[in-house]
């Protein structure tokens, strides 16, 4: 949590330094060289007209702060990676190092343990839309929950969603087979829409908007006021919506790119289907550690496990989109395999060479991304005190922000420019 807070401070400082530099640009009627000479000799006065510093001193301090801020931003990024390397999870402005930490929060803020459903990801958030079905026959599967009378329809659907490997949004509940098109990509028009009719993409995004609205209302009911759990639940909604939007933009862009290479629509849609299968399969791998729901089970323990696994699911989701979907190792491997296959099939059409160039460029980019990731891991491996160091970084960021505020305050008083 401290690391992310420090990062936000550092980013704010970078923004202010940038504004300070832009605001000091030369007026249109003054040459840059002459302006720099004037600025260098300028003196900053206090409210009594007494000199407190020269502009030359100010710029030296700004330059030092800028360099310090860049170093701080880099270190905070390393600390965030270090938390993840040690088994922790970072979500927004919060860092969680263990399931025990979640247990402490639940005992303090929701001791009844009845709010597991409000902690959502790509599989569970859609359940808040009343028209969404996580799987065919979910009502029968959760009939025992309905009979108990304490669990809502949404809670029942969320429990079922934990067991599903792929989203009903894309598969319509049908089995997925690699090398074939899933229902959402039956045709390009099925996905994008045609003749004024919305396609599957728009249907999914509209359903998610409805689900998010209902989920936020439920959070207000279950966790009113303020608290870390409430912040986690709300952040999960925002990140899930952002993830879907990013993935959908990626799919549309890839469909257009491959069409420009004159690759058949059928082959393109098979690739998009495979990418969806890969992403949801990897997210579902986290759910294999789930605790099965039972009426006699301990509610608090079940809620804690749900939150912890959902946090880890978000870490997997973030891993796909953080550096760009096309650079993710699993997605890029599938794409390279696809392009390699297309190269052989399209040699006779004259576009095989174009695809080969694209394949080689992608392989090079993926290699560079992997080397960068390995370097980052090695950089974070040497440190085992992430929490302490992140607090130190936070303090340094606060001091730097304080310094820059003092500079900006001095800049607000009138300046005496001497020729």
The model's pLDDT over 277-297, given as tens digits with 9 standing for 90+, comes to 999 999 999 999 999 999 998
CA–CA distance, 331 with 413 (Å, rounded to integer): 55
For 214-227, what is each residue's pLDDT tens digit? 999 999 999 998 89
pLDDT per residue as tens digits for the range 355-378: 555 566 556 666 666 665 565 555
pLDDT score for 43: 63
Residue 13: the pLDDT is 56
Note the pLDDT of residue 368.
64
pLDDT-based confidence at residue 37 (cuts at 50, 70, 90): low
Q: What is the three-class DSSP state of 52?
A: strand
Torsion sign (Cα): 105, 109, 112, 115: negative
How far is it, in rounded angstroms, from Cα 335 to Cα 225? Answer: 46
Rounded distance between C-alpha atoms, residue 11 and residue 59, angstroms: 19
- When pLDDT is averaged across residues 3-32 and rounded to a whole number, the result is 51
Domain boundaries, the chain: 2-86+389-416, 105-322
Q: What's residue 35's pLDDT?
A: 46
Higher pLDDT, 28 or 210: 210
The CA distance from 120 to 306, in Å, is 9
Mean pLDDT of 105-115: 94
**Selected residue with higher pLDDT from 22 and 228:** 228
CB–CB of 22/107 below 8 Å? no
**Is residue 14's pLDDT more than 60?**
no
Tell me what the mean pLDDT of segment 323-336 comes to.
Answer: 87
54 sits in which H/E element: strand 51-54
According to DSSP, the residues that pair with 198 across neighbouring strands are 193
Q: What is the pLDDT of residue 197?
A: 81
Q: Report the distance separating Cα 343 and Cα 334, nearest Å.
A: 14
The band of 30, judged by pLDDT with boundaries at 50, 70 and 90, is: very low
**Closest to 160 in 3D by CA, of 122, 133, 129:** 133
Short-list 367, 373, 357, 356, CA closest to 333:
367
Give the residue among 166, 152, 146, 84 at the shortest CA–CA distance from 118.
Answer: 152
Positive/negative CA dihedral, 28, 29, 33, 39: negative
* Residue 84 to residue 235: CA distance in whole angstroms: 18
Q: What is the pLDDT of residue 417?
A: 42
Residue 95 three-state SS: strand
Task: With a cut of 50, say whether residue 22 has pLDDT above it.
Answer: no
pLDDT at 166: 95
Residue 214 or 82, more confident: 214
Tell me: pLDDT of 68 over 90.
Answer: no
- Which H helix or E strand runs over 94? strand 94-96
Say yes or no to pLDDT of 258 above 70: yes
- Residue among 212, 265, 256, 259 nearest 237 (CA): 212
> pTM here?
0.66
């Amino acid at each position: 949590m401290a690391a992310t807070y420090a990062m936000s401070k550092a980013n704010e400082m970078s923004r202010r330094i940038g504004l300070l530099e832009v605001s000091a640009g030369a007026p249109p009627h003054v040459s840059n060289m002459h302006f720099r000479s004037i600025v260098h000799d300028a003196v900053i006065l206090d409210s009594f007209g007494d000199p407190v510093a020269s502009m030359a001193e100010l710029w030296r301090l700004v330059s030092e702060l800028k360099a310090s801020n860049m170093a701080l931003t880099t270190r905070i990024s390393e600390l965030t990676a270090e938390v993840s390397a040690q088994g922790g999870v970072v979500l927004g402005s919060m860092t969680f190092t263990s399931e025990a930490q979640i247990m402490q929060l639940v005992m303090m803020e929701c001791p009844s343990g009845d709010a597991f459903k409000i902690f959502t990801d790509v599989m569970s958030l859609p359940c808040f839309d009343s028209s969404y079905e996580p799987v065919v026959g979910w009502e029968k599967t959760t009939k025992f929950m309905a009979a108990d009378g304490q669990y809502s329809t949404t809670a029942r659907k969320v429990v079922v969603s934990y067991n599903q490997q792929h989203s009903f949004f894309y598969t319509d509940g049908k089995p997925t087979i690699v090398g074939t098109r899933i229902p959402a990509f039956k045709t390009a028009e099925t996905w994008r829409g045609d003749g004024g009719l919305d396609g599957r993409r728009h249907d999914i995004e509209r359903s998610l908007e409805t689900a998010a609205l209902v989920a936020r209302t439920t959070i207000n009911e279950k966790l009113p006021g303020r608290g870390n759990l409430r912040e986690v639940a709300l952040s999960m909604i925002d990140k899930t919506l952002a993830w879907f939007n990013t993935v959908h933009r990626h799919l549309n862009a890839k469909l257009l790119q491959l069409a420009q290479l004159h690759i058949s629509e059928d082959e393109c849609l098979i690739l998009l289907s495979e990418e969806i299968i890969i992403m949801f399969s990897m997210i579902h791998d986290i759910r294999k550690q789930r605790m099965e729901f039972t009426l006699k089970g301990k509610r608090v323990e079940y809620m804690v496990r749900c939150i912890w696994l959902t946090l880890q699911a978000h870490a997997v989701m973030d891993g796909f989109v953080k550096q760009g979907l096309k650079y993710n190792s699993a997605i890029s491997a599938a794409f390279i395999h696809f392009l390699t296959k297309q190269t052989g099939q399209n040699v006779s059409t004259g576009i095989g060479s174009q695809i080969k160039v694209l394949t080689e460029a992608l392989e090079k980019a993926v290699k560079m991304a992997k080397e960068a990731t390995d370097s980052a891991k090695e950089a974070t491996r040497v440190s085992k005190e992430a929490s302490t160091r992140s607090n130190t970084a936070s303090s340094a960021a606060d001091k730097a922000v304080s310094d820059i505020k003092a500079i900006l305050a001095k800049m607000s008083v009138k300046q005496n420019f001497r020729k």
